[in-house]
């Protein structure tokens, strides 16, 4: 039975979007009648398998979290890198759990993650022991006298995560427990090769999962952030993150697909910022020219669409704006807007407003094209009021 009140023995577990961490940590029900966990690994393995059936995490929420973190980093002039797990990755093994080995779950997203403190510790170990590039450890990471100038964020998955069960087979359990005591006559507390392995299942992140690692620096810091990112990338590639790194767990490599996606998003974000800045500049120019309301909106669009030099764009857009002018209740605004459009009509088809149906030649061929004529006639209706 579950460790719950007798009236709550059937908790609802959704197929998608449920918080796997709460389920895994709080709803373990493989106890025997004495509230003991059976020593065989099947009960533990079955419980681990209860969170490995489908990828975990809500895609929209993960994307929203990632985007919020990236916007924050952009405001702090920080940096983000997305890396892909080369092999199994495990985090939070030291957390208490009935299956012996715990797991670290993000408290709101319900997915495995690596705390910013763990990322900081891993990078510090790399810089201190393995890295060939000498860095100012005190400046980067701080000590008991001063804080470091780097800010590390939690590493999170960029999309729903696939988990799986792994197995470790320790041989020397009694030696680890009682190795400091005198050897027993049966040799049970000696690190010898005659001991039977004891299978212990534990939960891991499967290979091929993308995680977002982010770092920034404090205001006024002289640290070159690109050097930090380079060191962090090397640390994740060579020593790995999380637990069991000595056995090859937790190593990451660059995620090319995610890199291209991130570059595209950054480019789109930069274009959006430029467009916003241009729109603000145009709005200010319209105000300085004495334009307001609908005509100011029309002015801004004309500049953005480059009506001055692109006749095709103007003709395509003009019909839409004619309809909007017709919807206006204010006759003065209609006239002002029509006169504004008329400038571009005359620019591209000189003389058309005075004589839209002008023809030439023996066959009396129309001088202007039908769309331009239609536009001129519509504008004349308001201009001549």
How far is the CA of 365 from the CAs of 74, 356, 359, 369, in angstroms?
60, 13, 5, 10
Cβ contacts of residue 376 below 8 Å, gap of 6+?
345, 349, 352, 353, 356, 368
What does the pLDDT look like over 20-53, one tens digit per residue? 998 899 888 888 888 888 776 677 888 999 899 8
91 & 184 share domain: yes
Percent of residues, the chain, with pLDDT higher than 70: 95
- Say how far residue 279 (Cα) sits from the centre of its chain: 27
Compute the half-sphere exposure of residue 161: CA atoms within 13 Å on the CB side of its CA. 33
Q: Domain boundary residue among 239, 254, 269?
A: 254
- pLDDT confidence of 212, banded at 50, 70, 90? very high
Sign of the dihedral defined by the CA atoms of residues 302, 308, 313, 319, in that order:
positive
Please indicate, yes or no, whether residues 159 and 33 belong to a single structural domain of this protein.
yes
Q: Does some domain include residue 5?
A: no
Q: Which pLDDT score is estimated for 15?
A: 56
What is the per-residue pLDDT for 30? Answer: 82
Number of independent structural domains in the chain: 2
Residues 205, 93 contacting (CB under 8 angstroms): no
Q: What is the pLDDT of residue 156?
A: 96
Q: Are 38 and 79 in contact (CB under 8 A)?
A: no
Cα separation, 192 vs 307, whole angstroms: 85
**What digits encode the pLDDT tens for the residues 168-205?**
887 777 777 777 888 888 887 888 777 778 888 999 99
**Greater confidence, 23 or 116?**
116
246, β-bridge pairs = none
Looking at the domain assignment, is residue 245 inside a domain?
A: yes
Domain that holds residue 345: 289-383
Percent of the chain residues topping a pLDDT of 90: 47
Residue ranges in 56-192 assigned as alpha helix (H) = 59-76, 116-125, 137-141, 173-178
Report whether pLDDT(217) > 90: yes
Find tokens 């099947």 and name the residue.
42
**Average pLDDT of the chain to the nearest whole number:** 88
pLDDT number for residue 282: 80
One domain, residues 74 and 222: yes
Domain boundary among 201, 235, 254: 254
Confidence of residue 133 (pLDDT cuts 50, 70, 90): confident
Determine the Cα–Cα distance for residues 332 and 187; give it in Å rounded to an integer. 103
Q: Are residues 56 and 165 in the same domain?
A: yes
As a whole number, mean pLDDT of residues 119-132 equals 94
Which of 229, 254, 279 finishes a domain?
254
Distance of CA 123 to the CA centre of its chain: 22
| pLDDT digits 0-9 by tens, 319-372 | 899 899 888 888 888 888 888 899 999 999 999 999 999 988 888 889 999 989
Q: Are residues 248 and 299 in the same domain?
A: no
| pTM for the model | 0.67
Distance (Å, rounded) from C-alpha 174 to C-alpha 177? 5
């Amino acid at each position: 039975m579950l460790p719950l009140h007798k009236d709550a023995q059937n908790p609802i577990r959704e197929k998608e979007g449920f918080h796997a961490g709460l389920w895994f940590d709080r709803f373990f029900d493989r106890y025997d009648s004495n509230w003991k966990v059976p020593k065989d690994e099947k009960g533990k393995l079955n419980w681990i398998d209860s969170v490995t059936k489908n990828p975990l995490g809500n895609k929209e929420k993960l994307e929203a979290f990632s985007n919020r973190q990236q916007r924050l980093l952009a405001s702090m002039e920080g940096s983000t890198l997305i890396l892909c797990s080369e092999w199994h990755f495990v985090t939070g093994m030291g957390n208490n759990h009935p299956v012996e080995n715990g797991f670290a779950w993000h408290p709101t997203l319900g997915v495995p993650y690596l705390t910013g403190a763990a990322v900081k510790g891993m990078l510090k170990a790399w810089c201190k022991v393995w890295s060939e590039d000498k860095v100012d450890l005190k400046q980067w990471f701080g000590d008991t006298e001063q804080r470091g100038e780097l800010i590390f964020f939690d590493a999170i998955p960029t999309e729903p995560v696939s988990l799986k069960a792994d197995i470790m087979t320790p041989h020397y359990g009694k030696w680890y427990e009682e190795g400091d005591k005198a050897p027993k006559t049966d040799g049970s507390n000696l690190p010898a090769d005659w001991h039977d392995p004891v299978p212990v299942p534990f939960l891991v992140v499967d290979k091929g999962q993308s995680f977002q690692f982010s770092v920034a620096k404090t205001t006024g810091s002289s640290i070159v952030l690109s050097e930090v990112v380079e060191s962090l990338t090397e640390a994740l590639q060579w020593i790995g993150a999380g637990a069991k790194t000595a056995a090859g767990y937790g190593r990451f490599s660059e995620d090319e697909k995610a890199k291209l996606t991130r570059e595209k998003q950054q480019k789109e974000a930069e274009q959006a910022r430029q467009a916003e800045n241009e729109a603000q500049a145009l709005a200010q120019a319209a105000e300085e020219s004495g334009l307001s309301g609908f005509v100011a909106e029309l002015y801004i669009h004309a500049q953005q669409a480059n009506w001055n030099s692109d006749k095709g764009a103007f003709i395509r857009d003009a019909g839409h704006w004619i309809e909007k002018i017709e919807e206006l209740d204010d006759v003065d605004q209609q006239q002002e807007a029509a006169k504004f459009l008329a400038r571009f009509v005359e620019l591209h088809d000189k003389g058309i407003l005075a004589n839209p149906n002008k023809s030439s030649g023996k066959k009396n061929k129309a001088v202007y094209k039908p769309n331009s004529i239609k536009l001129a006639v519509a504008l004349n209706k308001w201009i001549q009021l």
